[in-house]
Amino acid sequence: MESLEMTTADFGISDEDRNGVTVLNLRGEIDVSTAPELRQRLTALAEDHQPLVVANLTQVTFVDSTALGVLVSAVKQFRSDGGDLRLVVTQPHITKVLEVTGLNSVFGVFASTAEAVAG
């Protein structure tokens, strides 16, 4: 079990402030077991009325439908309050998942954190 914990422990979230914009740097695999942690973090930011949050997925190695569901739920929450949630994606397989689900037209998707912050 120890090796499994090492594998799943790969997921993590760290925050940084870029010119007043909160950037969530995500890493590892976001699936049904780790998505709740992401949902909790995004919900807290939405309830804090953050106008713009950037989710940096460049170090994310896997996303499934539960991860996407959390992001969709969050972007609705931010936009209902006049804010937005933007994504930074460079991994081709994550870009592909966004494309096949049509979410590339729902989110603002950027190639770098700087671009996402600048909009």
Partner 1 sequence: MSAVGGSNNETGPDLAEHIELSMPALPELLVLARMTAATVASRADFGYDQVEDLRLAIDELCLRLVGAGKEGRLHIDYALRAEFVEIVVTYHSEDNVTRGYVPESAADDLGGGGVVNELSGAILDALVDEHGIDDVSIPPRAWLKVRRRGPDVD
Q: Which residues bind partner 1 (CB under 8 A)?
A: 4, 7-8, 29, 31-33, 35-36, 39, 62, 64-66, 68-70, 72-73, 92-93, 96-97, 100-103
* Residue 16 Cβ vs partner 1, minimum distance, rounded to whole Å: 26
Integer angstrom CA distances of residue 65 from 32, 46, 100, 109: 8, 21, 11, 17
* Residue 82 Cβ vs partner 1, minimum distance, rounded to whole Å: 21
* Residue 88 Cβ vs partner 1, minimum distance, rounded to whole Å: 19
Nearer CB in complex with partner 1: 23/46: 46
Q: String of b and e for 79-107 (b: at least 16 CB within 10 Å)?
A: eeeebbbbbbbeeeebbebbeeeebbeeb
* Residue 93 Cβ vs partner 1, minimum distance, rounded to whole Å: 4
Nearer CB in complex with partner 1: 16/47: 47
Which sign, positive or negative, has the C-alpha torsion 78, 63, 28, 19? negative
